[in-house]
Structure 1
């Protein structure tokens, strides 16, 4: 036994040391880092990404080693309070409302706090979520609300208990992604180790397991739907896709792309299955006021706020030279985005009549990439969607984006969370540069 351990150490000495250092750096990031300390954060993040790259390079055929490493990187964050996002306070708030029979789409936290604020637990959630979240209705779809309710039920009136439940859900979804993702890569005759660019990616680990965002849960259902499609199980695929929609609404914009891939009869079956899954999930919360509140809250995020925007910031810098008012510009631009997105999706649906799965996933990735290049709000965890999709395509620039997106956190080090145009410029120049290089190389090839 000792001889085997010594032999294993001799064969994997450097990867094992990298795993130990990575665990240490995740511990420091999760338990001993303030988000305002951006220089320290960038150094830790850069080191984590370097180790991620080297581990995949050295051990890409050692599935068990990389799987166990990715699980350990998540478990080291198990008891950490999310330090880069405060959204989890609203998750737990919504979960307790549903548990108490209160519709989270009809009541703003600010309207309920006078009644619930006598309870120290609810007072802590209300303070923690921040003024913006507390002043608006919930915009999290029903399956998300189910997970929040589960966290409230199992965690009780313990913030850490709720966090642990949410974390286990997210880690389970990531394990599902690596399992189904490897099967899908093999079906597409692509190298199965590519899925570890998702599973070991520091952006994925810190933003999902660390900060409790649910993009990974959404992506699990989406990848499961794609695998079921390639396995000729259209109805089950539609239900899985519907589940992804009611975790996050983003997959809705990709639905038209399936028309070309499936053909008329199968696409209709898929749309009906997805539609039923979505409608039935919303029925529990439906009231005449629900739809108005839900859509108004969604519209608010697109037409009133900006963060880490690419093309929008370029337009804004030009518009400022002509004395344009920023608050009018963001409202105009936010209202324009839905029409631009529809045109983009229709273009990718009909410009090339290719029904293959690789073409479908390639189109999905490009729609998401262009959408986030245009969007006025691009939080780093949003980019996990094109990152995962890109692993099933020949393109790798979304991996670069997952590295440089963290530059957006320079805003937290500035008074009033003012964004650094230099940091955003570096981010988008790096992404567009790598994108241009890959497109040029593909064109020449």
Structure 2
């Protein structure tokens, strides 16, 4: 590595770490100008690190930088998300043998807690962002919440540290799995830097404690074991991913062609039984009703940073005169499901991790809500491919934080339009370039023959 390149990599690494530190410890999400400016600086440094790396030694040094970027966030409280309060709320209920799916926080705060003989923290309740909604977190999450509260019963900070430590371990496991998969697929290991150093990954996973970190680890572990022909162990890890976030269920059709009917049915059986056993401690009529209610709200009420849905919504306003979310949400979900099935039937035989990526993209384009951390699984699933549209997305989706003010949130649809125009335009360019390269190879081969 040249001296100049080493100096630039050193400056970029320090800039990336400093920016992540400053965003986490000095800024709030409503400080739009400072937040977007420092994130832009971090992103430029990240791209510089990923592009300039040219040796095995520098790759591992930058993986070390990625680990340091996560470690410096260990003492921090999440500053771009307030989900931690619900995590601890659920954990404290479980510690008192109360199913968090059984009661709304507002119910408990308005007298139900007294009749149940349990204690709730008024300050914690006041910090909840959704006191009138049932919890949405599956059993793996609830187990982590419970452990965090058990170790620190009365300390929000202590519980936060426990959750962050677990997610940090998952992130380290993800980096190891990406290295192993790169080796398996004979892909240059430097490609994993697009995930390892990504500032959105570090800020949202380790910093803001989003459990996509755990789901990604389980999913990649499942893929790794499948590549090793250990499909039962792969199914068990897939079940853990489902019990962290329900969304991996949409990947199940992809296994039919890869495993064949007999093995696929066995795979589904293992996933189903393991999932049921993991849900068993929480299983009740309240769990079913709570999940149904939460899923219904997701498709019929919540809307944030959507793409196709916002177009459909505008058409609805023009034709009906009101927001048609009640019907549009479920119709888009059904359309996405049918497209996933259609894709499964027509896809060329490719690595399953690549197909996961395309299915996740379909989900995001038809979703009513796309928070910044929702694109991080897409990044993890595409980082070992030639496509970099997910990298581009991790910059432009951060612009959604511009909608936060000290008084609340107001979405800027111009920024949403910019985000999706650039991302889809980049994807279109990459697809065109890949097709052009493929045709060029075919033509050259034909000339040789």
TM-score when scaled to structure 1? 0.92
Deviation, 1:416, is 4.7
Question: Match for residue 434 of structure 1?
Answer: 426
Q: Tell me which of 92, 103, 107 is aligned to 2:88.
A: 92
C-alpha spacing 1:148/1:8, structure 2 compared with 1 (3 Å):
farther
Secondary structure of the corresponding residue to residue 134 of structure 1: coil
Is 1:285 aligned to residue 279 of structure 2? no
Write the distance in 2 (CA, Å) between the matches of 1:242 and 1:139. Answer: 17
**CA offsets per residue over residues 136-178 of structure 1, 9 Å max, x none?**
2111100110011111112221111011111111111110001
Deviation, 1:281, is 0.6
C-alpha spacing 1:40/1:312, structure 2 compared with 1 (3 Å):
same
Deviation, 1:10, is 8.5
C-alpha spacing 1:190/1:134, structure 2 compared with 1 (3 Å):
same
5+ residue gaps, structure 1: 1-6
Deviation, 1:184, is 0.9
Deviation, 1:116, is 5.5
Write the distance in 2 (CA, Å) between the matches of 1:58 and 1:421. Answer: 35
Deviation, 1:288, is 2.6
Question: Match for residue 27 of structure 1?
Answer: 21
Deviates more, 1:113-122 or 1:176-185: 113-122
Write the distance in 1 (CA, Å) between the matches of 2:236 and 2:254. Answer: 17
Q: Do the aligned residues in 2 keep the contact of 1:182 with 1:193 (CA within 8 Å)?
A: no
Question: Match for residue 442 of structure 2?
Answer: none
Question: Match for residue 106 of structure 2?
Answer: 110
Write the distance in 2 (CA, Å) between the matches of 1:143 and 1:416. Answer: 31
Deviation, 1:11, is 7.7
Write the distance in 1 (CA, Å) between the matches of 2:420 and 2:435. Answer: 22
Deviation, 1:28, is 1.4
Secondary structure of the corresponding residue to residue 209 of structure 2: coil
Q: Do the aligned residues in 1 keep the contact of 2:96 with 2:118 (CA within 8 Å)?
A: no
5+ residue gaps, structure 2: 438-449
Write the distance in 1 (CA, Å) between the matches of 2:3 and 2:142. Answer: 46
1:45-444 to 2 correspondences below 5 Å: 45-59=39-53, 61=56, 62-113=58-109, 114=111, 122-130=121-129, 133-326=130-323, 329-352=324-347, 354=349, 356=350, 358=351, 360-413=352-405, 416-444=408-436
Is 1:41 aligned to residue 35 of structure 2? yes
Deviation, 1:115, is 6.0
TM-score when scaled to structure 2? 0.91
**CA offsets per residue over residues 178-201 of structure 1, 9 Å max, x none?**
101111121111122211211111
Write the distance in 1 (CA, Å) between the matches of 2:249 and 2:217. Answer: 15
Write the distance in 1 (CA, Å) between the matches of 2:40 and 2:348. Answer: 41
Q: Do the aligned residues in 1 keep the contact of 2:372 with 2:398 (CA within 8 Å)?
A: yes
Q: Do the aligned residues in 2 keep the contact of 1:341 with 1:371 (CA within 8 Å)?
A: yes
C-alpha spacing 1:394/1:57, structure 2 compared with 1 (3 Å):
closer
Is 1:16 aligned to residue 10 of structure 2? yes
C-alpha spacing 1:204/1:239, structure 2 compared with 1 (3 Å):
same
RMSD of the TM alignment (CA)? 2.1
Write the distance in 1 (CA, Å) between the matches of 2:201 and 2:410. Answer: 25
Deviates more, 1:119-128 or 1:251-260: 119-128
Deviation, 1:14, is 3.1
Write the distance in 2 (CA, Å) between the matches of 1:288 and 1:90. Answer: 21
C-alpha spacing 1:407/1:216, structure 2 compared with 1 (3 Å):
same
Write the distance in 1 (CA, Å) between the matches of 2:71 and 2:113. Answer: 33
Aligned length: 432
Deviation, 1:393, is 2.4
Q: Do the aligned residues in 1 keep the contact of 2:168 with 2:206 (CA within 8 Å)?
A: yes
Deviation, 1:46, is 0.7
Q: Do the aligned residues in 2 keep the contact of 1:89 with 1:128 (CA within 8 Å)?
A: yes
Secondary structure of the corresponding residue to residue 128 of structure 2: helix
Secondary structure of the corresponding residue to residue 311 of structure 2: helix
Secondary structure of the corresponding residue to residue 322 of structure 1: helix
Q: Do the aligned residues in 2 keep the contact of 1:257 with 1:348 (CA within 8 Å)?
A: no
Secondary structure of the corresponding residue to residue 289 of structure 1: helix
Write the distance in 1 (CA, Å) between the matches of 2:11 and 2:424. Answer: 34
Write the distance in 1 (CA, Å) between the matches of 2:315 and 2:345. Answer: 33
Question: Match for residue 4 of structure 1?
Answer: none
